[in-house]
Chains A and B, each alone.
Chain A
Amino acid sequence: MKNRFNVKQALLTIVAISLIAILYHSCTSNMKPTAALSGDEAQAVYVPPGEYDEFYAFVSGGFSGQVSVYGIPSGRMLKVIPVFSQDAEKGYGYNEETKPMLNTSYGFIPWDDAHHPELSQTNGETDGRWLFINGNNTPRVARLDLTTFETAEIIEIPNSGGNHSSPFTTENTEYVVAGTRFGVPYPQKDVEISSYAENFKGALTFISVAPEDGEMDIAFQVLLPAFDYDLAHSGKGKSHGWTFFTSYNTEQKHTLLEVNASQNDKDYIAAINWKKAEEYMAQGKYKEMPANYAHNIYDESSHIATSTMKKSVKVLLPEECPGLVYFLPTPKSPHGVDVDPTGEYIVGNGKLSADLTVHSFDKMLKAIENKAFETTIEGIPVLRFEDVLAGVVEKPGLGPLHTEFDGKGNAYTTFFISSEVVKWKVGTWEVLDRAPCYYSVGHLMIPGGDSRSPDGKYLIALNKITKDRYLPTGPELTQSAQLYDISGDKMKLLLDFPTIGEPHYAQGIAASKIMPKSKKMYPIEDNNHPYAAKGEKEARVERDGDEVHVYMTMIRSHFAPDNIEGIKVGDKVYFHVTNLEQDWDTPHGFAMMGARNAELLIMPGQTETLLWEPQHEGVLPFYCTDFCSALHQEMQGYVRISPAGSNVPLKWNLGEDEVIQ
């Protein structure tokens, strides 16, 4: 009896050991994480043909200057919205109507570096009305209209340099902000660079957003020491009324910053009481400073953008405005600053720190009340680190950059150096889970993850480097986004997909908040473009000196007129082309041979203008570029170009009805 039992035990032991060995083997031989995906992941991201994704994701195009729109969870790209860069595909920045959108105090600038998309909010919740995004290089903030998915407005930020801590919104989109990453002479002047500490300043700009139409205006700037203001987020709930900016280079160095700006143990989070700022503004406690900046607005009914130069800006100085700004010491060179959905916790992601620092809003208020300041810098009280600290997530990873929240009491922080997302518990500061990223994650995004009500279902990691993750495409490789399921205790990698440019930050929103409001066309009766031809009867050609205006219409499947004669070398020919279609998804394109700009891509009911300067005699064709119908290939026409000074009369026709002027 006893003997038999031992045999049984021995057998069991052998079986157990072999099982462990097999398991161990399969684990080590499957180091490639993709192989560990079980197949449920494919189901989780599969959106059957003809069905819709649950979320929109608006992903920055980084140095492409644009915004890309994806469906989540499928990762299918839906549109690239041109914002700061010319886009030949859509004629944006090439046609006469949208050129003013890219006007700045430096003239026409056809490119920028777009970093942080930010959705408008109402009561701290994304409302699907507008998307803001910053242009980093020539400081600008753009507003995109989410009924048309087009850029509606761009405002330049004066006396700023490197608009990086931007355009984070307040809880009701009272303001979007624009903090300068580079200290610059204020206002700009010719000084020695080594006079940095005395001549340079850092301006934090508050841009008001009109609640009705979203129109932006620079409400005021707060002038701070010339630190590098890196990122921002506004308070929510109880901390509504405050905006927090991280800073580095509090050493105020201007050369070899990688060493010189990394010396201080702690840099600062600047807490701005913008409600206080409003009081000071109302009391007239601002200085009017000279400035020069462009404000560009696209009018949806005329389909024309206008650019206005503005010449001054209102500035608040902290020395003269007590209670406006406080500094919260934060270890070392904090990058992102993220406020949890309750508005109590302010996470300072100290990118060179081993730990993650979390401040308490309540403690900050108490410290301010007690006036227990460590010191003051240029009139700005510096609070004591211990007084404002809520907790520390200890040794969570290397190189923390950004944190978002799931609305269930958890926070997720990206670590660039250790290339991972770490989930931790708000309040207890314990690490709950970690998931690798491929590779070198920057921002992360949970739909609504920086608002008061996150949709804690998916998380997207936005990666800077992909190396071997995709088929190679020569030296330049794609960047990527990685989708994780965060509905359970453990994060689960579902999908990765390539992005355009560098996907700095992204915003996500339930499709139901946007889809019903998406426009299908522009009503032709609302078109008040001064050169619109609202029917074929209005199609015509007019000469004014060497300027020729062609009032052209397009409808399936012809242009009116489609034959034009009497154009001369040296003319400036403006094709004002109106798409007469009033049906869903019926754009037409217009391409003129030899035009040195781009095509027009005209939505139903819209008018766009292409400038063409013919250089040689001949007869040149034009045609529709967007396959519009069964007779799309027939949608074409000719322009006859005669020598300069010739007396060929101006005439045009469609079919047999010829008109001679």
Chain B
Amino acid sequence: MKQLGRLLMIAAALSLLMLFAFPMWKIILYAPQYPDGVEMHIWINKIGGSTPATLQNINILNHYVGMKYIEPDDIPELQYFQYVIMGMIALGLLAAIANRKGLFLTWTILLVVLCLIGLYDFYLWEYDYGHNLSDTAPIKIDGASFQPPLIGKKDILNFVAVSLPHIAGYFVGLSILLGFSAWWFKGKNARNEKTTL
């Protein structure tokens, strides 16, 4: 049990690997004529969907109201954020090797800060797509915004848009929990050692 803190720290770092196996976020559009829903998946390094053509189908919907074409190559975050994550995994493993309580806490707080920055960045993109509409849009609705919710549910014209974490998103949450527990157990072990001495 002495190694519990360190093991939790390793698990916290490795949980982030799931970002390369699963999408971290999803935006689902519901309308009666889309019985299966249109489900867009945001990965750490790409944009996909529940079908290979989801992005094309969303872009077709967006073009009626003049929203920008979502072109993953034009979103720099999709290029570099994966390296930030790889760095975090490396740092987490280094912290586990060092096995220092303070490092566990620092790493975890750093991850929380990164998540908040990521969410804010996501919000900015959503705002941009929802508000910067083409002047030549076939359908113009005064004062309307098509910005999807950051998290939760929102009506957008004939659609209900739902925005929620996807599998890898939950693993990031797990990673934070594991990081904090690593710090806590490490502290507890240290205290126990003191009392037995």
Contact = CB atoms under 8 A, between A and B. Distances in A.
B60 A584 contact: no
A630 B56 contact: no
A583 interface: yes
A584 B139 contact: no
Contact of B53 (A556, A582, A630): A582
B36 A584 contact: yes
Contacts of A584: 36
A656 to B, nearest CB: 12
A271 B60 CA distance: 61
Contacts of A523: 52
A525 B138 CA distance: 30
A631 B138 contact: yes
Interface in A191-223: none
B139 A582 contact: no
Interface string B30-65: 000000100000000000000111001100100010
B52 A630 contact: no
Contacts of B139: 630
A630 B64 contact: yes
A117 B39 CA distance: 40
A631 B65 CA distance: 12
A556 B58 CA distance: 12
A582 B138 contact: no
Contacts of B138: 630-631, 634
Contacts of A629: 64
B60 A555 contact: yes
A523 B36 CA distance: 18
A629 B65 CA distance: 13
Given A630-B139, A631-B138, A582 B64 contact: no
A518 to B, nearest CB: 14
Counting chain A CB atoms within 10 Å of each CB, the highest count among B36, B60, B139 belongs to B60
A583 B53 contact: yes
B190 to A, nearest CB: 57
B98 to A, nearest CB: 48
Contacts of A582: 51-53, 56-57
Contacts of B52: 523, 525, 582
A630 B158 CA distance: 13
A178 B51 CA distance: 43
Counting chain B CB atoms within 10 Å of each CB, the highest count among A580, A582, A630 belongs to A582
Contacts of B56: 580, 582-583
A525 B53 CA distance: 11
A629 B61 CA distance: 10
Nearest to A583: B57
B17 to A, nearest CB: 29
Contacts of A631: 64, 138
Interface string A510-549: 0000000000000111000000000000000000000000
A582 B64 CA distance: 18
Nearest to B33: A585
Interface in A546-595: 555-556, 580-584
Contacts of B36: 584
A523 B52 CA distance: 9
A556 B59 CA distance: 10
A493 B161 CA distance: 48
Contacts of A583: 53, 56-57, 60
A505 B57 CA distance: 42
Contacts of B64: 629-631
A262 to B, nearest CB: 57
A525 B182 CA distance: 47
A581 B138 CA distance: 20
A629 B33 CA distance: 12
Nearest to B35: A584
Nearest to A523: B52
Contacts of A630: 64, 138-139
Contacts of B51: 582
Contacts of A580: 56
Interface in A629-648: 629-631, 634
A119 B56 CA distance: 37
Interface string A295-317: 00000000000000000000000
A560 to B, nearest CB: 14
Nearest to A584: B36
Nearest to A605: B53
Nearest to A521: B53
A524 B60 CA distance: 16
Interface string B150-167: 000000000000000000
A618 to B, nearest CB: 29
A631 B139 CA distance: 10
B177 to A, nearest CB: 39
Interface in B1-49: 36
Nearest to B51: A582
A629 B57 CA distance: 12
A581 B60 CA distance: 9
B116 to A, nearest CB: 36
A630 B65 CA distance: 11
A584 B57 CA distance: 10
Counting chain B CB atoms within 10 Å of each CB, the highest count among A525, A556, A583, A629 belongs to A583
Nearest to A585: B33
Interface string A394-418: 0000000000000000000000000
Nearest to A556: B60
Interface string A611-642: 00000000000000000011100100000000
A182 to B, nearest CB: 50
B136 to A, nearest CB: 10
A581 to B, nearest CB: 8
Interface in B129-173: 138-139
B144 to A, nearest CB: 15
A583 B52 CA distance: 10
B158 to A, nearest CB: 10
Counting chain A CB atoms within 10 Å of each CB, the highest count among B36, B51, B53, B57 belongs to B53
A583 B33 CA distance: 12
Given A524-B53, A581-B60, A582-B51, 11 more contacts: A525-B52, A555-B60, A580-B56, A582-B52, A582-B53, A582-B57, A584-B36, A629-B64, A630-B64, A630-B138, A631-B64
24 contacts: A523-B52, A524-B53, A525-B52, A555-B60, A556-B60, A580-B56, A581-B60, A582-B51, A582-B52, A582-B53, A582-B56, A582-B57, A583-B53, A583-B56, A583-B57, A583-B60, A584-B36, A629-B64, A630-B64, A630-B138, A630-B139, A631-B64, A631-B138, A634-B138
Interface of B: 36, 51-53, 56-57, 60, 64, 138-139
Question: Which 6 interchain pairs have the tightest Cβ spacing?
Answer: A582-B53, A583-B57, A556-B60, A631-B138, A582-B56, A630-B64
